[in-house]
Amino acid sequence: MQAINFTEKMQVLVARYNDRTEHDVLTGDVVEDFSEQIIRLYQSLREELSSFADMGIDLEEKAFYDILKQLCVNNGPLQN
């Protein structure tokens, strides 16, 4: 689930970078903004990859946990 989330964020960043105008290409602000966003995305990815260690589980268990958590968000709590 998180991999999909990070992939979507990266695709948005790349699309925004590719859609810049000719004027934007000549300004350093565009490259600087893009670089900052890539760095933030990379830091988020690193945090996510280390988050399972804090929980005392491995990467596969964390992926399963994330799927269950997303199902609960999408469907609401289970009712008897």
SS3 (DSSP) at 63: helix
> Could you state, in order of their start, the residue ranges of all structural domains in the chain?
2-75
Q: What is the C-alpha separation between 68 and 57, in angstroms, rounded?
A: 15
pLDDT (tens digit per residue) in 13-48? 888 877 777 666 656 777 788 888 889 988 988 888
Helix (H) or strand (E) holding 38: helix 28-55
d(CA 3, CA 45): 9
Q: What is the value of pTM for the model shown?
A: 0.55
Q: pLDDT band at residue 2, thresholds of 50, 70 and 90?
A: low
